[in-house]
Amino acid sequence: MKVSRRSVLLMAAAPFVPIVPASAQGSSSEGMVQQLNLGSMGGGTNPQINFNPFAPNKLSLGTMFEKLYIINDYNCDLVPWLATKYTWKDPRTLDFVIRTGVKWSDGQPFSAKDVAFTFNMLKKNPALDINGATQLMSAVSANGDTVTFTFSAPAAQAFYQIGDTWIVPEHIWSDQQDPVKFTNPKPVGTGPMLFDHFNSQELVYKRNPDYWQADKFKVSGLRYTKPAEGSADQLRLANGEYDWNAMFVPNVQKVFVDRDPQHNHYWFSQGSPISFSMNLTKAPFNDVKFREAMAYAIDRDAIAKKAELGYVTTASQTMMQIPGQKDWIDPKIADQGKIAYNKDKALQTLTSAGYKQQGGKLLGKDGKPIQFNFMVPAGWSDWIQAAQIIQRNLADLGIKMNVETPTAAIHDQRRASGDFDTLFTVPAGLCSMYTNFSLPLNSAATAPVGKNATSNWIRFKDPATDKLLAELASTTDPAKQKPIVYQLENVMMTQYPLIPLWYGAVWFEYRTEKAIGWPSESDPYCSPNDTELVLMHLRPPK
Amino acid sequence: MVYFLRRIAFFIVTLWAAITLNFIIPRIQGGDPAQAIVQSFAGQGQGVDPAQVQAVRLMLGIPNENLFQQYIDYLKAIGHGQFGLSYTYFPYTVTHMILQALPWTLVLIGVTHILSFFIGTAVGAWAAWRRNQLFDSLATSISTFLGTLPFFWTGLMLLYFLAFKLGWFPDSGGYSGHESIAFSFSFLKDAAYHAILPALALLITGPMGWIMGMRNNMIQILGDDYTRLARAKGLSEARIAMMYGARNAILPNVTAFAISLGGIMGGSIIVEQIFNYPGMGRLFFESIGNHDYPLMQTIFLFITVGVLTANFLADMLYGVLDPRVRRGGR
Amino acid sequence: MSEMRDSVVRPPTLAQAGVEAEQEEDERQRHLPTWFLILWRNMRSRFGMFLLLAFILVAIFAPLLAPYNPRDNTFMPTQLPSTAHWLGTTQSGEDVLSQLIYGARTSLLVGILAGAGATLIGLVIGLIAGYVGGLTDEILSFFINLALVIPALPLMIVIAAYSPVKGIWVIIIVIIVTGWAWGARVKRAQMVTLRERDYITAAVFAGDSMPRIVFREILPNMMSLVIAAYIGAASAAIGAEASLEFIGVGDPTVISWGTMSYWANNSGALLTGQWLWIAAPGLALALLITSLALINFGIDALSNPKLREE
């Protein structure tokens, strides 16, 4: 459920391209950052022109388009962007005040009408609505500088989906008969970058001198290259060809940083918690005591160190990201909800709940040895290694867990239909607290075994949780949301529907040769996924 | 005449069988292309937004009809040469994607396959003529070993030593970003430079089969009665080797050349994968992973039709060259 | 695959006369099968047999030879070769040498089983087509030719990728399903020639049953062909398994030379300078297939006296 499209576009890699001399990039002006190489242009192995911001296979948009709000992925700050202000009139009515003085890159003025047009288009073409922004929306209208959204049900969470949607110009898109098939070859946006040129090996953007906050934006250009896989791309990173990238690198210190310690840096921050997830319709997983024991039985540190190469940190049972979302954690919960590996406590919990250890095997309440399957998509190597660690941990308790590796497609299909015992899921990690808890736990998002569930694959059903979620959806004031979130965290702490294990890493490598001001562990002003915020902070080195 | 009609009938029925096979296999497993594509763009281990999966499902408009109806529609569309829109590269058509990738693979495979054939045949003929001498022993021993090296091994070793360590050649891609695809000297030079390592990976193992094939055929023929007769007539050894040996020994190799096209296609999938080469093999492999059925089916169809056509032409040629075949029906 | 090409160019007409002549010559050495003696006399195939034996011994005694358990991942990850780890360690801290030694088991298993499966199917279909003739022959020949022209590796990748389960057995079945046709074609051709022989015609007239004729009269005369086909199919299978595992459509949790290459390539071995991790499994694979190819030299000589070494 982690919706980090930006990181997606930066994922992976590119082929052999000699570094273009900086002088060729046209920007000699003082105080400017030279063109930066950001790696993968997205769009698959044979990238085609596609600047439709709603398409899954679009090219890296390079900040051509903008959103109403930027939701800081790291600390969840709401940064006004194309909108200056938002107000909930009631949980079904949301107003945005649109920024004035903004121009489209073809010179036409940007207005609230463009915003209303964009959302009406998404409503009419659900195939473009990749955020689900219009799912509850019944109408949207522009009135002067204000855009008003009305919803068919209380929808406090809709702010995050609406605020996070690209806004496109009405005067271009209204001419499109079928916007779903529109590749937008001559993109017009409001952002700080303009499309310069594309071939299947590179995609180049140049600075938009008429950008509405051009005075604060110092990067003269962006260059993306064709994605590649594997070592070739890692080598290019090691050789310093990328100023900014988001790839997994084995032994990053040795392979990347040590090659040029002065300029090469990395910061792997915390993403969504990868969680041990059980099919709650089956025994013994329908027993909360068994689930509690699982929370102590798994050696999260070993997974973080071995399977994830020490790039990640262990996760809080509350599902909140630490440290980014630590303010959302109920202060009454000990250790911020981090549960330490404790084999003895796990065994004790199990025996006191009626499970017996006999001849090295753990017997269920029916007296039969407990054994079950764990499903990991084939080829997801770090997950497979993590599963093997869990396998050994559980074997220590006398539980036999078989690791099976079907293809990703079969895995996803069986996950949806409930045809599994245990597996990893990736819940939460977003700034919308409602979405964090609703996707994995809302009974509306589940289905009986045999039918496809949308996101509550573990089939958790709890009327109290549903009620809390409904309350959260109708609470628009963040201060009042907190106590509800605390209660949801306590559902996690007492019912253990999921066992969060570690936070997936947000890959981020950067070089300080051409630019400084990158977010880092010591200055985590935003997540590297927040491309706009990062670029606004960059300055040439002194 | 019957011979030719039979070959044509076989061509058509085989084509139909390949198309059908192609339709059935991916549908045995099931799986949701929308989910696969969103996950593939998100990267392994990343959570995906169910709203986005739903949007992509709507975008692709994946058919809900029963399998038989889908099959009929599929046959009709192929009959009209309409292969549909790629799922991965929506809204681009499958034909567009294939036409872009095809030249790269055709040139890479064409050049290496023909070179392999000539090098292998020449070395094999020479080895047979100099049978049991040093050259023969060396050629057969070395080629036996080199011929068994897997394509992925030669590819990775070339990549490591010539690109990573020595930096003599580019490590991936088909051309440099600052070039644009055009029929210009600078682009062709750049593309050729990028093709050297993938071509070498195919060329190291490529000729080995031909060496042994040619050598064995030729030894057989040099031992035949009419060659002995020629020798008795006092013709020079070199003349015998060329006139009788090589000329007759090469015929079976020509058919083998057509059949082996399928094999080299397999090699190119692996080599293109290693060198990130913008050809059909890589596109094919990606389409499998993304459950991009329209693209996958069409590439498979292209490969099969290519091999089939080569075989068909070889059969026809054989029928023309060797009248015995027409009667015998191989 | 290159292995396939080797078998493609093998001369389709295989004379049996030589074998019969040898049989008289070796009357004294009845205790050893004739075909073995011919193989033994050929230097190349003798060397090949030793090499193959070495691989078999390594596979059998893997637990004794391997310094560590191949799945033991308690070592320092991504180490370069050292005295403790001759080939270094993997990204998850396993000993590469131990995996290499255990990998021989998988490759041999695949070679033995997939080779046998493909040969058996090829033999049955080839014999039936060649013996029965007529419409049955037409139909079976069509399937043989069909399976021959459909490109094997792309088909294998598609089937392996879309198989609902993963595992070495899936790979073996895929290889059998896609790899039987060449053997069938050769055996059918051989059957057609043998059927015309006088002693077969005599047996038919004498009222012998078909299984009796096939098993007593025909099969013994095709032994060298069957062995050659088996070795060809086994080497093709070993190569195909490694290729499928390498590109990741196999089961990466199996320890085999293909999965070792897959993990090495996907764990940045080229980047960390652990080229031996990549080089070793591929070389072992090539040597194993070479040993089979060398044995095939002797078998070619068995069926084609002109290729025999003096």
Say how far apart CA C46 and CA C34 lie, in whole Å. Answer: 14
Interface membership of B109 toward C (CB under 8 Å): no
**CB proximity list for B133: less than 8 A, separation 6 or greater:** none
C38 neighbors C22 (Cβ within 8 angstroms): yes
Chain A neighbors of B281, CB-CB under 8 A: none
A380 closest CB neighbour out of B45, B278, B282: B45
Interface contact C161, partner A, CB < 8 A:
yes
Nearest chain B CA: its distance from A211 CA (Å): 27
Q: How high is the pLDDT of residue B308?
A: 82
Asked whether the CA dihedral C269, C273, C277, C282 is positive or negative, the reply is positive
* C206 vs A: CB within 8 A: no
Decide which of B243 and C293 is more confident: C293
Residue entry with tokens 């040093």: B134
Which residues in chain C are contacts of B17 at CB distance < 8 A? 146
B253 inside 8 A of chain C by CB: yes
**Is C162 in Cβ contact with A378 (below 8 Å)?**
no
Alpha-carbon gap, residue C149 to B259, rounded angstroms: 7
- Report ipTM for this prediction: 0.83
Q: Phi and psi for C25 in degrees, rounded to 5?
A: -55, -40
Q: Does B252 touch chain C (CB under 8 A)?
A: yes
Q: For residue C210, what pLDDT is reported?
A: 76
Rg of chain B over Cα atoms, rounded to whole angstroms, equals: 24
- Identify the residue among B29, B112, B153 best suited for mutation to test binding to C, counting C beta carbons within 10 A and taking the highest: B153
Q: Best interface-test mutation with A: which of C74, C253, C262, C270 has the largest number of A CBs within 10 A?
A: C253
| Mean pLDDT per 10-residue section of chain A, whose length is 542 residues | 35 38 47 91 86 91 94 92 94 95 94 96 92 91 94 92 94 93 94 92 92 93 81 84 89 89 95 95 94 96 89 95 91 94 95 91 92 88 89 94 84 92 92 94 93 93 96 92 96 96 94 95 93 94 85
Distance CA B295, CA B95 (A): 8
Give the up-direction half-sphere exposure of residue C182: CA atoms within 13 A in the CB hemisphere: 30
DSSP state of C79: P
Contacts of B290 in chain C (CB under 8 A): none
In terms of phi and psi (left: phi > 0; alpha: psi -120 to 50; beta: otherwise), the region of C70 is alpha
CA angle A375, A380, A381 (to 5 degrees): 110
User: Which residues from A are below 8 Å from B180, CB to CB?
Assistant: 199
- In chain C, which residues have their Cβ closer than 8 Å to the Cβ of A255? 268, 271-272
For residue A404, what are its two tokens? 């099976």
Q: In this complex, which chains have at least 3 CB pairs below 8 Å with chain A?
A: B, C
Residue C45 C-alpha, separation from nearest chain A C-alpha, in angstroms: 39
Average pLDDT taken over every residue of chain B: 81
Question: Which domains, ranges and CATH numbers included, belong to chain A?
Answer: 22-56+191-268+507-537 (3.40.190.10), 66-173 (3.90.76.10), 270-505 (3.10.105.10)
Beta-bridge mates of residue A362 = A357
Residue B330 pLDDT: 39
Residue type, A129: D
Q: Which residues of A touch B30 (CB under 8 A)?
A: 409-410, 413
**Residue A2: per-residue pLDDT:** 36
Residue A231 and residue C93: Cβ atoms within 8 Å? no
Low-confidence ranges of chain C (pLDDT < 70): 1-32, 35, 302-310
- The DSSP 8-state label assigned to residue B246 in this structure reads I
How far apart CA C281 and CA C273 sit, in angstroms, is 16
Cα distance between residue A290 and residue A292, in whole Å = 5
Q: What is the fold of B96-326?
A: MetI-like fold (1.10.3720)
Q: Which one, of A379, A56, A121, A176, lies nearest residue B87 by Cα?
A: A56
Which residues of C fall within a CB distance of 8 Å from A378? 166, 248, 251-252
The number of C-alpha atoms within 13 Å of B207 and in the hemisphere containing its C-beta is 24
Residue A164: which of B41, B51, B42 has the closest Cα? B51
Q: Which of A305, A375, A381 to mutate to test the interface with C (most CBs of C within 10 A)?
A: A381
Write down the pLDDT at residue A20.
Answer: 42
Tokens of C161: 């990728």
Q: In A, which residues are within 8 Å of B291 by CB distance? A: 409
Parse chain B into domains and list their residue ranges. 33-82, 96-326
- Chain B residues with CB under 8 Å of A272 CB are 46-47
Half-sphere exposure of B194 (CA within 13 A, CB side): 28
The alpha carbon dihedral of C305, C306, C309, C310 has a sign of positive
Two tokens, residue C105: 């088991």
Per residue in B124-160, pLDDT tens? 888 887 877 888 888 888 888 888 898 999 999 998 8
Chain A partners of C265 at a C-beta cutoff of 8 Å?
230-231
Convert C252-270 to b/e letters by CB count within 10 Å (16 or more is b): bbbbbbbbbbbbbbbbbbb
pLDDT confidence of residue C132: 82
Q: Is the dihedral of CA A382, A383, A384, A389 positive or negative?
A: positive
Q: How close C110 comes to chain A (CA, Å)? A: 20
pLDDT (0 to 100) of residue C18 = 42
Q: How far apart are CA A156 and CA A137, in angstroms?
A: 12
> What letter represents residue B278's amino acid?
P
Nearest Cα of chain A lies from the Cα of B307 at a distance, in angstroms, of 24
Work out the minimum CA distance from A8 to partner chain C, whole angstroms.
19
Q: What is the DSSP letter of A106?
A: T
At A504, list the tokens.
Answer: 């997936």
d(CA A419, nearest CA chain C) in Å: 13
* CB-nearest partner of A413 from B30, B50, B90: B30
Find, in chain A, the residue whose alpha carbon is nearest to that of C270: A231
Q: Which of A255, A378, A404 is opposite residue C268, by nearest beta carbon? A: A255
Question: Using the beta-carbon criterion (under 8 Å), do C268 and A234 form an inter-chain contact?
Answer: yes
A254 is written with which tokens? 């040795």
pLDDT number for residue A25: 43
Across the interface, do B171 and A3 touch by the CB < 8 Å criterion? no
Nearest alpha-carbon partner for B151 in B250, B270, B244, B60: B270
CA dist A98 → A62, A105, A107, B125 (Å)? 23, 17, 18, 80
Residue C14, pLDDT score: 35
Instruction: Say if the Cβ atoms of B30 and A129 lie within 8 Å.
Output: no
What are the DSSP E strand ranges found in B183-298?
A: none
Q: How far apart are the first and last CA of chain B?
A: 15
CA atoms of C233 and B129, how far apart (whole Å): 30
Name the pTM for this structure.
Answer: 0.83
A379 min Cα distance to partner chain C (Å): 6
DSSP A357-391: EETTEEE-TTSSBPEEEEE--TT-HHHHHHHHHHH
Q: Helix, strand, coil: what percent of chain C each, to 5?
A: 75, 0, 25
Closest CA to A118 of A70, A153, A68, A152: A68
Give C215→chain A minimum CA distance, Å.
43
- The structural architecture, per CATH, of the domain C105-310 is Orthogonal Bundle (1.10)
- Distance (Å) from the alpha carbon of A267 to chain C's nearest alpha carbon: 20
A52 min Cα distance to partner chain C (Å): 31
User: Do residue B177 and residue A228 have CB atoms under 8 angstroms apart?
Assistant: no
Q: Specify burial of residue A373 (Cβ count, 10 A radius: 0-12, 13-18, 19+).
A: middle
The Cα A484–Cα A156 span in angstroms is 13
Residue A61 φ/ψ region, left for φ over 0, alpha for ψ in the -120 to 50 degree band, beta for the rest: alpha
Within 8 A of A54 by CB-CB distance, chain B residues are: 55
Give partners of C (≥3 CB pairs < 8 A): A, B
Measured between alpha carbons, how far is B228 from B230 in angstroms, rounded to an integer? 5
What is the spatial distance between Cα B129 and Cα B121, in angstroms, rounded to a whole number?
12
Residue B316, pLDDT above cutoff 70: yes
CA-nearest of C155, C156, C5, C1 to B303 is C155
Is C251's Cβ below 8 Å from some Cβ in A?
A: yes
CB–CB of C276/C88 below 8 Å?
yes
Instruction: Indicate the helix (H) or strand (E) that contains A310.
Output: none
Q: Parallel, antiparallel, or unpaired: how do β-strands A202-207 and A193-199 relate?
A: antiparallel
Separation of alpha carbons A388 and B226, rounded Å? 68
CB A199 within 8 A of CB A224: no
**Which chain B residues contact residue A429 at CB under 8 A?**
47
Query: What are the structure tokens assigned to C254, written together?
Result: 């199996």
Residues of B in contact with A199 (CB under 8 A): 177, 179-181
Q: Are A58 and A507 in contact (CB under 8 A)?
A: no
Instruction: Tell whether A12 lies on the interface with B, counting CB pairs under 8 A.
Output: yes
Nearest Cβ partner of A127 from B58, B283, B286? B58
For residue A406, give the nearest of C78, C166, C268 by CB distance. Answer: C166
Query: How do A422-425 and A269-278 pair as beta strands?
Result: antiparallel
CA distances from A217 to A69, A195, A211, A221, A539 (A): 18, 16, 9, 11, 9
- Is the pLDDT assigned to residue B3 strictly greater than 80? no
* End-to-end alpha carbon distance in chain A: 40
The alpha carbon of residue C31 is apart from the nearest alpha carbon of chain B, in Å, by 31
Do B47 and A425 lie within an 8 Å CB cutoff? yes
Which residues 410-469 of A are in CB contact (within 8 Å) with B? 410, 412-413, 425-427, 429, 439, 445, 454-455
For chain C, the structural domain boundaries read 105-310
Rg of chain A over all Cα atoms, to the nearest angstrom: 24
Q: How is residue B99 written in tokens?
A: 């036409």
Map residue C118 onto helix, strand or coil: helix
The residue among C150, C300, C307 with the most chain B CBs within 10 A of its CB, best to mutate, is: C150
Question: Nearest to residue B119, comparing CAs of B94, B99, B139?
Answer: B139
| 3 state DSSP class of A207 | strand
| φ and ψ of A238, to 5 deg | -60, -35
